[in-house]
Structure 1
Amino acid sequence: MSATKGKKRREVASYCDWMSQLPAELHNIPLFNLAIPGSHDSMSYDLDINSPIIEPERLKRLSKIYCARKIVRKWALTQEETITQQLDAGVRYFDLRIAKKRNDTDPTRLYFHHGLYTHTDVETVLRVVHDWAESHPREILILALSHFKGFDKKNDQHLHNHLINFIKTLFGPKLFLRGETPTLKKCWDQGRNVIVSYDYPIKRPLEMWTEIIYYYGNSMDSTKVESKLRQQLEKGRPSKQFFVCGLNLTLPDNVKILMYILRLCDNFPNVIRRSLPRLLQWVKEQAGKTPMNIIASDLATRGGFVSMVVELNISKRV
């Protein structure tokens, strides 16, 4: 193959619509076998500094202290751009963690969370995602709903039923049904470009997919993250299902967390920026050795992350 032809096949004019620009030979392979860029804790850009602290557990009692909430937000913020900006940048997998606020006047209103609650409620954000999906029918979006904080025994089933029914009503025929193997062509032909994973042990309708396995390194050390991910990937990927390789760094869940959150002149986004180039280089090298599917990152719109992941689909076939 000539260098010119190879270069031509690698060109993606706009990552806002990158799936529709993939070469034809990729249109019929399962989406489980495509490299898909995703964002970790996708809604953390919207954290409300005035909300109570809901994690980590040891800091909950400090919720009334503004400085404590400020520190939690500084170290819980993993994304800097809105959900629409992430979509426009080419992110196609979203890690959405759901929470119910205690004593909310609206009994079914839900928010997202990561340390704190978000300003914006779940239904508002999902409507934004729906409108974007409507405008980009050939881009397949994967929404992973999980964690469900504040769902107690009294309201648990009611809240899940309400949320699932809202999703089914909002997205309707756009939802790709569980049990079928999604490919780009099949999604396009059926007019279904939204896949929703619902990580909770309830009876799911066909519109809701089961939990998507999420591998991560559970460390603030990028070398340890790489090592843990390599071990998990080399054990063998799940068969015929989505899985996530999470590049995200993870704060300790013990007293060692103080080593980070007490750095007055530092924050989580800065730590991520320092580690991201190395992690992206590792992905390029590892992708040639083990299959990858969804690759999720903090600061997913930065550092050439999306373009690097999309290129994995093309370069291995050129």
Structure 2
Amino acid sequence: MSKSKQNNAGAEITNYSDWMSQLPPQLHNVPLFRLAIPGSHDSMSYNLDINSSIVEPERVKRFSKIYCVRKIVRRWAVTQEETITKQLDAGVRFFDMRIARKPNDTNPTRLFFYHGLYTRTDVEVKLGVWAEKHPKEILILALSNFKNTDKQLHIHLINFIKTLFKARLFPRSEIPTLKRCWDSGRNVIVSYDYSINQHIELWRKMTYYYGNSMDPTKVEAELRKALEKPRQSHCFLVCGLNLTLPSDVRILRYILRLCDNFANTVQRSLPRLLQWVKEQAGKTPVNVIASDLVTRDGFVPMIVRLNFSNI
């Protein structure tokens, strides 16, 4: 490694709430598709409401009225500990947001986030204020896995997004770089995974690879295959380090552990997965790396530092 690379690799970000603005000039004109960006999986799950009905898994929904069942679902559905603002301040820039309407809600246009249960917070979360206060930080929001929504609700939500972020939305017709975002004053990228999305201000579905397993070895193997495949040069690629509970009876192996929960399970595997990312990034390009528990184990600093090794 050259001396300049050694110096860059050892560069320090002094404040991760504004880490993008501290990247060296050599990276300012690099497409965001080629930067290493920390992201959170099921970003709003810290806010799950124990009093809500069960959204998933399907086989458990009929037990929604039983408190202890909802409690178990919540224990294994919470993938993040900190609020969206604290995740932003910690340096997370990609957010995985699943959206649903509550059946029988008296407000026909009110939407919530969900993961197992609905969240207490509805979709009108104040991200616009943060984006305005940090104009050099690029937010990437992936809205997907819509439930109980129809065309009119999508029109309502799209209009809300366009009103919330206004001229800050970066259109999919251009290739985003830090400098291009900064010069245009557009620092929000919204991916909207629905066929009705014909709006140039909104990006279409972003590819999200994950291991679909609770076994870190299998997660690594699946992500390695994804990263080693030929890819389009002008699109975001998200690799999820997240563990995934089985959808069949095997799930009982986990949820019946009375003294365990999902956060503890993730904590045991996260250091190994982060080490794998560091090694894999030396072999193949990485882009967005999403994880559970994004404020633990130095996740954000490690992902951000990958950018310096490619200068």
Q: TM over 0.5, yes or no? A: yes
SS of the residue corresponding to residue 307 of structure 2 reads helix
Alignment map for 1:32-51 (pairs within 5 Å): 32-51=33-52
Instruction: Give the structure 1 partner of residue 281 of structure 2.
Output: 287
State the aligned residue count: 310
Q: Is the 8 A contact 1:43 1:113 kept in 2?
A: yes
Task: Pick from 255, 270, 279 the counterpart of residue 249 of structure 2.
Answer: 255
Deviation by residue 1:90-119 (Cα, 9 ceiling, x = unmatched) = 000000000000111111000000000000
Structure 1 residue aligned with 2:304, among 301, 310, 316? 310
Does the 8 A contact of 2:9 with 2:309 survive in 1?
A: no
Q: Secondary structure at the match of 1:143?
A: strand
Partner Cα separation in structure 2 for residue 4 and residue 214 of structure 1? 30
The answer for the alignment partner of 2:85 in structure 1 is: 84
Aligned to 2:155: 161
| Displacement after TM superposition at 1:202 (Å) | 1.2
Question: Where does 1:1-318 land on structure 2 (aligned, <5 Å)?
Answer: 2=3, 6=7, 10-123=11-124, 125=125, 128-151=126-149, 156-317=150-311
* Unaligned residue ranges in structure 2 (runs of 5+): none
Contact residue 48 and residue 118 of structure 1 kept, 8 A: yes
**How far did 1:237 drift?**
2.9
- Determine the C-alpha separation between the residues in 2 that align with 1:2 and 1:290: 22
Supply the distance in 2 between the matched residues of 1:2 and 1:182 (Cα, whole angstroms): 30
Whole-angstrom distance in 2 between the partners of 1:292 and 1:2: 23
Asked whether the equivalents of residues 37 and 295 of structure 1 are also in contact (C-alpha less than 8 Å), the reply is yes
Contact between 1:40 and 1:248, CA under 8 Å: does it hold in 2?
yes
Q: What does the per-residue CA deviation read over 1:141-195, in whole Å, with 9 as the maximum and x for residues that have no partner?
A: 00000011112xxxx1110000000110110000001110000000000000000
Relative to 1, partners in 2 of residues 1:280 and 1:167: Cα closer, same or farther, differing over 3 Å?
same
Question: Secondary structure of 1:231's partner?
Answer: helix
> 1:22, 1:3 → 2: CA distance?
15
Superposed displacement of residue 239, structure 1: 2.4
Q: Percent identity between the aligned chains? A: 70
Given the superposition, is the C-alpha separation of residues 56 and 169 from structure 1 closer, same or farther in structure 2, using an over 3 Å criterion?
same
Q: TM-score, normalised by structure 2?
A: 0.97
- Secondary structure of the residue aligned to 1:166 is helix
The CA distance in 2 between the partners of 1:5 and 1:254, in whole Å, is 48
SS in structure 1 opposite 2:146?
A: strand
- Per the TM alignment, residue 203 of structure 1 is displaced from its structure 2 partner at its CA by 3.7
Contact 1:73 1:115 in 2 (8 A): yes
Structure 1 pair 182–208 and aligned structure 2 pair: CA distance change class (3 A): same
The alignment partner of 2:264 has SS state of: helix
Question: Do 2:57 and 2:116's aligned partners in 1 also have CA atoms closer than 8 Å?
Answer: yes
Asked if the contact 1:215–1:229 (Cα under 8 Å) also holds between the matched residues in 2, the reply is: yes
* Residue aligned with 1:310, SS: helix
- Return the alpha-carbon distance in structure 1 between the equivalents of residues 63 and 48 of structure 2: 17
Instruction: Give, in angstroms, the shift of residue 219 of structure 1.
Output: 0.2
In the TM superposition, structure 1's runs of 4+ consecutive aligned residues that sit over 4 Å from their partners are: 1-5
Aligned partners of 1:222 and 1:275 also within 8 Å? yes
